[in-house]
Chains A and B, each alone.
Chain A
Amino acid sequence: MRTASRLLALALPCLLPLTAAAQMTGNVIKIGVLNDQSGLYADLGGQGSVVAAKMAAEEFGGKVNGVPIEVIGADHQNKPDIGSGIATKWYDVDGVDVIVDVPNSGVALAVAKVTADKNKVFIDSGAATSDLTGKNCTPNTVHWTYDTWSLANGTGKEVVRAGGKTWFFLTADYAFGKALERDTSEVVVANGGKVLGDAIHPLSTQDFSSFLLQAQSSKAQVIGLANAGGDTINSIKAAAEFGIVSGGQKLAGLLVFLSDVHSLGLKTAQGLQLTNSFYWDRDAKTRAFAEKWGARMNGRRPTMVQAGVYAGVLHYLKAVQALKADGDGKAVVEKMKAMPTDDPLFGKGTIRADGRKIHPMYLYEVKKPSESKGPWDYYKLIKEIPAAEAFRPLSTSECPLVKK
């Protein structure tokens, strides 16, 4: 009898997680914001994404069905090994239910794999590679804000249509840069243009003049910047200094964030065309969000990545609320795909079978200093790319989740 009760005593704790799994694991909904908090991408995501996730949690009063929401953050330092290490520890030890943001495509692809192995949820906002919902898609990934395909078909297509037929790429030497160059090259060629060459540079390069001189001697009409954050800023600055633009070549910043334009200043950045899915000054709702966010972030304004974190977390919490459980990552993502999305920043939308969030994209042009009414008043709308055209069609998807 004593042994039997002992056995039961031992077995009981083992049974507990099983019953809890049908509800909320660990009696808390734990959201992990994993991004670059100290390097070249820290301003476009970083602490601002943590604040955005917290704001989404506050929309729910900090609780879903009586279970508290907790938001934590960590710095992956743009290193895939560190990123997947943190993700593994978060899932196994700290009871994190969902990881959000994760800019840097290299890290994002690693985290997507860990998340699928552990059956949790991964809502990516910061990373660009379209492979997250392409050949590397998983049933646990949602890719919210933008991707390389949408950038290529926004800025890339527009530049080719405006007559920029020959291209030379400056490409960041990792998964993101290569995906962006690949997707843009396809658009260029499909629209009758030609790619003359590329210069592949290490991530976080200080001086771009060498690469720009190579681009200059290629005589290409357009220099496509397949890089991001600090690398894009340095490329544009050096191009202005070395007279690349006044020499008749056009710069195409394929991925430009609001924080980049702020750092460049309008004098240098004016006239630059860029594709974004969110701009803080688009309507009353986005302005209200930006005000609230800015009050906690030194008066800055959010980038599309930070907006995507907010909207993604909001939708995740709605799905968890409807499911009344957060333990089975696949089930939560299925619920997220089944429910139409609706939030103040991206409007109404959907999440496709491949995990791609669908919404309109916007082609903006950076204002001249004379057109800007003050700090952070930077963009004017050129055109809206409707949701149906903004992302890679499912018919050409390499994602195994898509039934054809």
Chain B
Amino acid sequence: MSTQALFSQLLIGLINGSFYALLSLGLAIIFGLLNVINFCHGALYMLGALVAWYLLEHLGIGYWWALLIAPLVVGLLGVVIERTMLRRLYGLDPLYGLLLTFGLALVIQGIARNYFGVSGEPYDIPEQLTGGRNLGFMFLPNYRTWVVVFSVVLCGLTWYLTERTRLGSYLRAATENPLLVQAFGINVPRLITITYGLGVALAAVAGVMAAPIYRVSPLMGADLIIVVFAVVVIGGMGSILGSIITGFALGVIEGLTKVFWPEASSTVIFVIMAIVLMVRPAGLFGRTT
């Protein structure tokens, strides 16, 4: 293996890692505050892509607007899900939340599959981002560059929002002790609703970004979500920085596996997960309480 080829595989890994990071970030935020393992995250990611496709196909609205509208639509749906269903499960065992969201994922995917089939619909790369540049060691499509840059920015923004702003401090305080925060006059239930909507909107953004690369297919979320859960577990449930770093790192490791032992590329992440759980049960960045 030449160093040139190695470089290109590292870069590809980083690109895939940015999807893992974006998705696991949303999951981490939701788990951190709601203590809900949001199994319908993959389905909502798929819905994000589907909304983008629908906007283009039926309303003639292009990629850039979709990047804004799809997260809003899916985020709103998330708010509805939280208000009408998830809310009733907060006092119960986390298993109930998991079952509910898993069921929701199956329903959403089933409906989408019924209408669109599984092979998916085409969605073209926006014109401004077609083509690519030759880096010497590889041809890097412009769109993939955009995906990496944009997701790093989004991850950074989300981290800043939760760690460095007043809203973020409320969020973190509500995670620690919701009753006390409520006693200070902060509307915790609304905070929770907003958080869930935000986490879900992040999934939709990732969906729109994935639409031109993969197919807009009802299965796109199901294919990805299991890996993303492994990322969250490795990073440490609920750890925001952990999920970002682990997302990118695992993308790279997976990319390298595709070169050295391609048959194992779909299992390598789970092997790492098993090892991490044995050595550090709370995950790499998780806190043991």
Contacts and interface: CB of A to CB of B under 8 A. Distances in A.
A is bound by B: yes
B224 interface: yes
A233 B215 contact: yes
Interface string B125-161: 1000000100000110101100000000000000000
Contacts of B4: 217
A206 B223 contact: yes
B122 A234 contact: no
B202 to A, nearest CB: 19
A172 to B, nearest CB: 11
Interface stretch (A38-46, A140-148, A328-336): A38-46
A238 B125 CA distance: 12
B124 A242 contact: no
Interface stretch (A23-31, A91-99, A208-216, A278-286): A208-216
Given A233-B119, A264-B122, A202 B12 contact: no
Given A242-B139, A265-B122, A42 B265 contact: no
B118 A202 contact: no
A210 B259 contact: yes
Contacts of A230: 118-120, 215, 217, 219
B258 interface: yes
Contact of B263 (A39, A202, A300): A202
B117 interface: yes
Contacts of A241: 125, 132, 141, 143-144, 213
A205 B223 CA distance: 8
Interface string B216-227: 010110011000
Contact of A260 (B8, B119, B220, B262): B119
A263 interface: yes
A58 interface: no
A204 B178 CA distance: 43
A237 B265 contact: no
B119 A229 contact: yes
Query: Which of the listed residues B117, B138, B139, B215 has the most CB atoms from chain A within 10 Å of its own CB?
Result: B117
B122 A173 contact: no
B223 A262 contact: no
A342 interface: no
B141 to A, nearest CB: 5
B38 interface: no
Contacts of A199: 258, 262
A401 interface: no
Interface in B258-273: 258-259, 262-263, 265-266
Given A213-B9, A242-B141, A263 B263 contact: no
B65 interface: no
A40 B5 contact: no
Interface in A185-236: 199-202, 204-207, 209-211, 213-214, 217, 229-230, 233-234
Interface residues on B, range: 35 or more
A157 B217 CA distance: 33
Nearest to A44: B119
B86 to A, nearest CB: 26
Contacts of B2: 217
Given A207-B16, A210-B12, A234-B214, A43 B139 contact: no
Contacts of A88: none
A263 B124 contact: no
Nearest to A300: B117
A44 to B, nearest CB: 8
A243 B134 CA distance: 10
A213 B138 contact: yes
B247 interface: no
A40 B138 contact: no
A230 B217 CA distance: 10
A200 B224 contact: no
Given A200-B263, A206-B214, A242-B132, 11 more contacts: A43-B119, A202-B263, A213-B5, A217-B5, A230-B119, A230-B120, A233-B215, A241-B143, A243-B132, A263-B215, A267-B124
Interface of B: 2, 4-5, 8-9, 12-13, 15-16, 113, 115, 117-122, 124-125, 132, 138-139, 141, 143-144, 213-215, 217, 219-220, 223-224, 255, 258-259, 262-263, 265-266
11 contacts: A38-B219, A202-B265, A210-B255, A211-B258, A214-B259, A230-B118, A230-B219, A237-B214, A241-B143, A243-B132, A259-B119
